[in-house]
Amino acid sequence: MFPCVLNGPVRCWMKHSTSNVRAFTVRPRLVLGIETSCDETGAAVLDETGIILGESLHSQKQTHLDMGGIIPPVAQRLHKENIYRVVQEALDRSGIEPNELTAVATTVKPGLSLSLGIGLDFSLKFVRLHEKPFIPIHHMEAHALTVRMLHPVDFPFLVLLVSGGHTLLALAKGIDEFLLLGQTLDVAAGDSLDKIARRLSLRNHPECSTLSGGQAIELLGKEGDRRAFHFKTPMGQIYDCNFSFAGLQNQVTMAIKKKEKEEGVETGQLLSCVKDIAAASQHTIASHIAKRTHRAILFCKSKGLLPQHNPTLVVSGGVACNEYIRQTLKIVTDATGLHLLCPPSKLCTDNGVMIAWNGIERLKQGKGIMSHTEEVKYEPKAPLGLDITSEVNDAAIKVPPLKLRINS
Ligand code: KG4
Ligand code: ZN
């Protein structure tokens, strides 16, 4: 239905600015990306080279911090209140009119139903009004591919996605082709950092009141002694690439309760040892992530799944902002000869740019572009790629010990 738009950059005759000669120019394709899968309302306009022409982001973080967690109807209301303004701002900043867009890309899976619904409803109305093609986006694929906007990373590459909703390891073989090597069996790394921070009442800490749980733990952990508490690294005897954080969260809660009793501190007040608990929790989470990632690298190498030249580990998602975790992973990639790449922090957390970029990648390959949108639905649960976790488990690779000494 949109052949000239979809097969390549739009070629058009334009009037030359200084003379009256008509010149043949190539107009790059432009995608508007819209993200509302969780608690950020994001929009961005990108051209096909990855240049961000305009973007806007409304974060609900402070509201959810104040309420002690994400409450889906509240997230939905905030998306509803902000989506029009956020999209308009991204368009205004880009100087692009809706009729100049090549397509609109929007997160439709996975995520909170109530949040996804707002982005999808808005986008469908927008594409119908402006008669534009629609590109439905998988949120985790978008996190995985963001790096390609900034670095020429060829497929296949290994990707670790660590966020508030997900923790997984996958081999990216193509823009829509992934092998799932491992994932969390209970809560995600970011969720457990958020809950530990909440249990430590870090919102009442003068330096942490506006920070997400993960950011607060990272900040306080810098001045803490991680050896003051010993938490057991999860799943030490299970030789696969899955993750688990619920048990660790429980260990930390028990240690907090014990200290509260010793110090006579009520829930809501700050313990004297918050920095040490933050440092020890962060270290244990980092070690767990590093060990599973190390095994994933060895598995991929043993199966010849990574290229000989420049094999790469990409790390993204909100928790990938954490410098301590990045440094821990660097020890693993240095030991195994991989190249480590993380997008800058603002592109690791949820945003509209990564969705627009995924739209560009799809547009370039002509994949998943819809001119009829009647059937489009959002999907709160959506696995990433082909699940080969049992194959990883069968390989039962033992990971050689690595000294994870980080200078904080
Ligand atoms: O990717 P994201 O923005 O949203 C989801 O898709 O979940 O990730 C948000 C998560 C939160 O759990 C937050 O605590 C965590 O990322 N996070 C961090 C840091 N910054 C954000 N975790 C550890 N260290 C950080 N610096
Ligand atoms: Zn995310």
Is the CB–ligand 1 distance for residue 38 below 6 Å?
yes
> What is the 18 CA–ligand 2 centroid distance (Å)?
47
pLDDT band (50, 70, 90) for residue 254: very high
Place of tokens 């990306």: 33
Is the CB–ligand 1 distance for residue 42 below 6 Å?
no
> 260 near 201, Cβ under 8 Å?
no
Is the CB–ligand 1 distance for residue 46 below 6 Å?
no
pLDDT tens, residue by residue, 44-64: 999 999 999 999 999 998 898
pLDDT tens, residue by residue, 115-174: 999 999 999 999 999 999 999 999 999 999 999 999 999 999 999 999 999 999 999 999
Is the CB–ligand 1 distance for residue 146 below 6 Å?
no
Specify the pLDDT at position 331. Answer: 97
By percentage, how much of the chain surpasses pLDDT 90?
A: 88
State how far the Cα of 161 lies from the Cα of 171, in Å rounded to an integer. Answer: 11
Top-confidence residue, 407 or 236: 236
Q: Is the peptide bond prior to 156 cis by the omega test (within 30 degrees of 0)? A: yes
State how far the Cα of 127 lies from the Cα of 105, in Å rounded to an integer. Answer: 10
Token digits of residue 231:
């938490």
Is the CB–ligand 1 distance for residue 194 below 6 Å?
yes
State how far the Cα of 59 lies from the Cα of 75, in Å rounded to an integer. Answer: 10
User: What's the one-letter identity of residue 231?
Assistant: F
State how far the Cα of 207 lies from the Cα of 163, in Å rounded to an integer. Answer: 22
Question: Looking at ligand 1, which atom is closest to the CA of residue 191?
Answer: 12
Which residues have C-beta within 8 Å of that of residue 342, sequence separation ≥ 6?
A: 147, 314, 315, 316, 320, 326, 348
Q: Hey, is 58 helix, strand or coil?
A: strand
Side by side, which strands form the sheet with 40-47?
52-59, 40-47, 30-35, 103-109, 134-138
Ligand closest to the CA atom of residue 343: 1
Question: Around 153, how many Cα atoms within 13 Å sit in the side-chain half-sphere?
Answer: 30
Ion ligand 2: protein residues whose beta carbon lies under 5 Å? 163, 350
pLDDT band (50, 70, 90) for residue 10: very low
Across residues 8-27, what is the average pLDDT? 47
Instruction: Name which of 380, 391, 392 is nearest 139 in CA terms.
Output: 380
| E strand or H helix at 209 | none
CA 368 from chain centre, in angstroms, equals 21
Specify the pLDDT at position 27. Answer: 74
pLDDT band (50, 70, 90) for residue 268: confident
Q: Which of 321, 323, 327 to mutate to test the pocket of ligand 1 (most atoms within 8 A of CB)?
A: 321
> What is the 287 CA–ligand 2 centroid distance (Å)?
22
The pair phi, psi for residue 287, each rounded to 5°, is: -65, -40
pLDDT tens, residue by residue, 368-380: 999 999 999 999 9
Token digits of residue 350:
């949820």
Indicate left, alpha or beta for 229 from its phi (over 0: left) and psi (-120 to 50: alpha): beta
**How far apart, in Å, are the Cα atoms of 386 and each of 141, 185, 260, 391?**
13, 17, 46, 11
State how far the Cα of 247 lies from the Cα of 231, in Å rounded to an integer. Answer: 10
State how far the Cα of 45 lies from the Cα of 352, in Å rounded to an integer. Answer: 8
Question: Looking at ligand 1, which atom is closest to the CA of residue 164?
Answer: 7
Instruction: Name which of 402, 366, 357 is nearest 44 in CA terms.
Output: 357
The pair phi, psi for residue 214, each rounded to 5°, is: -60, -40
Token digits of residue 45:
């306009």
State how far the Cα of 159 lies from the Cα of 218, in Å rounded to an integer. Answer: 22
Specify the pLDDT at position 3. Answer: 33
Token digits of residue 223:
């001045």
Indicate left, alpha or beta for 50 from its phi (over 0: left) and psi (-120 to 50: alpha): left
